[in-house]
Chains A and B, each alone.
Chain A
Amino acid sequence: MRLLNRSAGRLSQHRRGPLAGLVVLLLGLLLTGGLYTVLAPAQAQKAESDAELVAKGRELFLVGCSFCHGQNGEGISTARPGYQIGPSLVGVGAAAVDFQVGTGRMPMAQPGAQVPRKEVQYSEEEIAALAAYVASLGPGPAIPSEQDYSLEGLSEEEREEAVVRGGQIFLTNCTACHNFDGSGGAMPQGGYAPQVRGVEPKYIYEAMLTGPQAMDNFTNGNLSPEMKRDVIAYLQSLETTPEYGGFGMGGIGPVAEGLFAWLVGIGSLVGFAVWIAAHTTRTSKDKVEA
């Protein structure tokens, strides 16, 4: 990592050497060839592998999930009406599985006010299998692809507009819970809106799409796919933007600032005052008068 980085705050960066065109051409050729060799046989087996994937997913589901969500993902209710051990997964779609399992929230370690993000328990293939199985239970949102949330293909100007618009959508719909810096916030009865700063774009997209846990949905009829893409673009832009004013103290606003004013500011100044008024060392020698 370079210590001093020029022009980091810009959204657009033109860094093109004279050989860049040639390199891109070569890379493109290599990539096309490589992709063809990988994908061509796979397509031939696709229909077959889908069913296999679902079957594999069902196996994993029965072992890891069915205890709370039921043998067929129908959910398990408690004796108290309206409350569930695990909700029904029919119709939640592959996106919900990818989010919950991919961020380690599922499987749940223990019941609580909120399921925290933790270490991921399944491999990528296993998550794909689980997602395929749950998606087969009923129609629901699919896992978004990278095109859904990347700004590829937009002109310079359109990108800037997307980021600005995304910022306004973020401040209107998201900051109330997740805070202006994406640091998260408290919710009633022990719940909380988790930190979204530094979260992978795919999971942010899936969270908006599926409304995990107590979060509201922002389905495509609510926030259009472009609006979601813009929000993600804004969050990404915040990450590449430097902390202009120095250390951000957690990005949680004035409470942390007050704490630092007292601990660092008043603390150090009182320390200086003690030093200023402290007595210096004395000697037992007498001064020889000139």
Chain B
Amino acid sequence: MSDHTPSTVPSQGDGHGAQVATMHEADPIADPGVHPHQWRPTDVDERAAKRAERQVASLFGLSAVFAILFCVAYFTLEIGDNHDTFLGMGASTVALGTSFGAALLLIGVGIIQWARKLMGDQEIVEMRHPAHSTDEDRDKVLADLKTGIEESGIVRRTLVRNSLLGAVGMLGLPAVVLLRDLGPTPGQVVGEYEGAGLEHTLWTEGMRVVRDVVGTPIKASDLEVGDLVNAEPAAIFETDEHGEHLIEGVELQIAKSKAALILLRMEPDDITPGRGRENWTVDGIVAYSKICTHVGCPISLNERTTHHLLCPCHQSTFDLADSGRVVFGPAARALPQLPLAVDEEGYLVAQSDFTEPVGPSYWERG
């Protein structure tokens, strides 16, 4: 048995009761050897074996029935416009899943049952071999390696070797350079489209604030205290003479990912205006970026009573009555505020773009 000689140093007791005796001691109890084989009822009783055989075969047979049921369900149960339902669930998916699952499970259970009851089950012993090769093989390989290396001259001819290493190393450059056009740099996109770049959004001076989804402008007088509006810049909904949207596809997604806005009307007395932000509100209406400064989730979980805005992704909480200050959670920066004004028709407009980059922090943000 395993009376290995350890390669570790001999130990000494350290007063903690680690009674480490000599390692050469044989096992205190001798190996009684593999437990003698015992027959199963199916091995000794032909009737039991037949019964097991029938059991396994009926599992397989039942599986085939379910496979047919699967096909029946596939062709009879409708999906799409006339979706069949079963107990309020999609009948097709449920029927296909259960019949397919049952067909597979029954085959699996049948095979296992076959193995457990009918296949030979005597334990057999196989000897292990150490993972390493024989010393002879290893010496031969090392010697061959040495010969090969010597014959190549890679050790002696340093000029050849080093110039090759240098050349192969240089090949890393094309490999890296090739990836350069994965995308533009943050500086390159600026000016490419409206509101491009990390520091700009679609908001410009005088742009109307409109309701998201429907695109209608918002009169300051329409909002009551406690109203919260999910808003966007009007440019997102602008159309040309054919009714086609001017901004769509990827540009629309980029624009929305930075310009989305939260509009909230609160009691003007509740607001603690930030320095230089005294005239950024209109009758208690404040506007903040909807993009969380933590990692960029859109946030609009506002508590009307506390003016606290919560991010559903990581629970950063901002105080909208106090310049979007962080009151809880992992975000470090206040929510950027959009300076608001009203145009001559009484609709809410932006005084300018955001005065700081929206969304998550990044290295060169400063």
Question: Contact residues of A with B, CB < 8 Å?
Answer: 3-10, 165, 168-169, 172-173, 176-177, 185, 187-188, 191, 193, 211, 213-219, 221-224, 227, 242-247, 275-276, 280-288
Contacts and interface: CB of A to CB of B under 8 A. Distances in A.
The secondary structure that dominates the A interface is: loop
Interface in B224-238: 224-230
The secondary structure that dominates the B interface is: mixed
Interface stretch (B60-68, B76-84, B145-153, B242-250): B76-84
B303 A214 contact: yes
B89 A242 contact: yes
Nearest to B264: A216
Given A227-B214, A287-B43, A214 B306 contact: yes
Contacts of B301: 176-177, 185, 187, 193
A5 B90 CA distance: 10
Given A5-B86, A7-B83, 7 more contacts: A7-B82, A9-B85, A176-B301, A214-B303, A216-B227, A216-B304, A287-B44
A213 B84 contact: no
A244 B90 contact: yes
Given A188-B303, A280-B117, A9 B81 contact: yes
Contacts of B282: none
Interface stretch (B4-12, B91-99, B163-171): B91-99
Contacts of B308: 188
Interface in B285-307: 298-306
A211 B44 CA distance: 78
B223 interface: yes
A247 B43 CA distance: 45
B283 interface: no
A5 B85 contact: yes
Contacts of B83: 7-10, 242, 244
A30 B330 CA distance: 65
Nearest 5 interchain pairs by C-beta = A221-B222, A216-B228, A244-B90, A9-B83, A217-B226
Interface in B24-66: 38-41, 43-45
Given A3-B87, A7-B82, A185-B301, A218 B97 contact: no
B38 A247 contact: no
Contact of B38 (A8, A222, A283): A283
A221 B46 CA distance: 85
B223 A222 contact: yes
Given A275-B112, A282-B38, A187 B89 contact: no
Interface string B112-133: 1000110001000000000000
Contact of B81 (A3, A10, A280, A286): A10
B167 to A, nearest CB: 50
B312 A165 contact: no
26 contacts: A5-B86, A6-B78, A7-B83, A8-B83, A8-B84, A8-B85, A165-B213, A169-B213, A172-B230, A176-B300, A188-B310, A193-B301, A214-B304, A215-B304, A216-B304, A219-B224, A221-B227, A222-B227, A222-B228, A245-B89, A246-B93, A280-B117, A282-B40, A283-B38, A285-B39, A285-B44
B333 interface: no
B219 interface: yes
A176 to B, nearest CB: 4
A276 to B, nearest CB: 5
B223 A219 contact: yes
Interface in B152-178: none
A138 B212 CA distance: 32
Given A173-B300, A214-B304, A6 B82 contact: yes
Contacts of A243: 88-90
B97 A246 contact: yes
A276 B117 CA distance: 11
B22 to A, nearest CB: 37
B222 A222 contact: yes
Contacts of B94: 246
A173 B230 contact: yes
A176 B312 CA distance: 7
B269 to A, nearest CB: 10
A192 B97 CA distance: 36
B323 interface: no
Contacts of B216: 224
Nearest to B263: A222
A41 B45 CA distance: 91
Contacts of A216: 226-228, 264, 302, 304
